[in-house]
Amino acid sequence: QRRFDAWKQSKQNAVNADKAAMASKKEEEAKARLAAEQAVNKAKADAVAQKKAELAAAKAEAEAAAAFEFNKRYIEVAALLGAETILLVPGATKGLDPAAPVRTYKSVWDKSVAALKKLAVIAEKHNVNIGVENVWNRFLLSPMEWKYFLEEINSPFVGIYLDVANTQYQLPAEDYVEILGDKVKAVHVKNYKKSGDWGCVLDFGEDILDGDVNFDNIIAALNKIGYKGAFTAEMIPFSR
């Protein structure tokens, strides 16, 4: 009886072992199928991401080429009209459009410098200055940054189109004049009264004399550098 019971137990153990082996095999096969499915899905996702990146890059390249051609024509027309300076915006890490992509500071710097170097050649040919405006674009946030930026472009025909009110939520405009000197190519005149911790377009107001801009200091700084360029009133609403 004991031998029979031992044989019976041995058979049961063998059956249990087979079942365990089968279950383990099924589990490994399921894991392998899952891993294969995940790999396929990842490959598809990577391909989609790659395609989106390629399309975005192609779009950016096309936009940059179109912008360059527009600005080239802009300079040519300015020369025909006898204008001394044109206004450009250097790019933005984050603009006012919430749908616009966020770009790195370095990428905006590199692309802006490269484009302005090419445009500087055209500007010199037509004897027209390029005034790059200081705007709220989370780029070139201080006069020292502007100094290094313009030095890298290294052209007497590229400077700043100084908006005396746009500087106010960080620094007074006269600081820019003092540091940038003859790189001030033209001046936007409006006023600004800070209402909170951050700038708001409504803070510019409608009265050019009502605000934080110290025009006496600005005029004194401009006289010190011998500024002889244009002053353009830029009032809210901009259509005025």
Q: What is the pLDDT of residues 167-211, one digit of tens each?
A: 988 899 999 999 999 999 999 999 988 776 555 666 787 788 888
CB 66 within 8 A of CB 88: no
Residue 240's pLDDT band, with cuts at 50, 70 and 90, is: very low
Mean pLDDT (whole number) for 128-156? 96
Angle at 145 between CA 102 and CA 208, to 5 degrees: 85
Give this prediction's pTM: 0.78
Per-chain mean pLDDT for the chain: 89
> pLDDT at position 225, please?
97
Angle at 74 between CA 71 and CA 79, to 5 degrees: 135
Looking at residue 69, the DSSP 8-state letter turns out to be H
> pLDDT at position 12, please?
79
> pLDDT at position 201, please?
67
> pLDDT at position 133, please?
97
pLDDT over 70 at 40, yes or no: yes
CB 190 within 8 A of CB 235: yes
> pLDDT at position 239, please?
43
Q: Kindly tell me the number of DSSP H helices and DSSP E strands found in the chain.
A: 5, 5
26-35: pLDDT as tens digits? 888 888 989 9
Between 237 and 139, name the one with better pLDDT.
139
pLDDT over 70 at 145, yes or no: yes
Distance CA 135, CA 149 (A): 15
Distance CA 90, CA 84 (A): 19
Residue 16's pLDDT band, with cuts at 50, 70 and 90, is: confident
Distance CA 40, CA 38 (A): 5
> pLDDT at position 3, please?
75
> pLDDT at position 189, please?
94
Does residue 237 have a cis peptide bond before it, meaning omega lies within 30 degrees of 0? yes
Q: Picking from 48-57, 86-95, 96-105, which range would have the lowest pLDDT averaged per residue?
A: 96-105
Mean pLDDT (whole number) for 82-94? 92
Of the candidates 126, 118, 133, the residue with the CA atom closest to the CA atom of residue 82? 126
Residue 236's pLDDT band, with cuts at 50, 70 and 90, is: low
Q: Picking from 6-10, 45-49, 88-92, 170-174, which range would have the lowest pLDDT averaged per residue?
A: 6-10
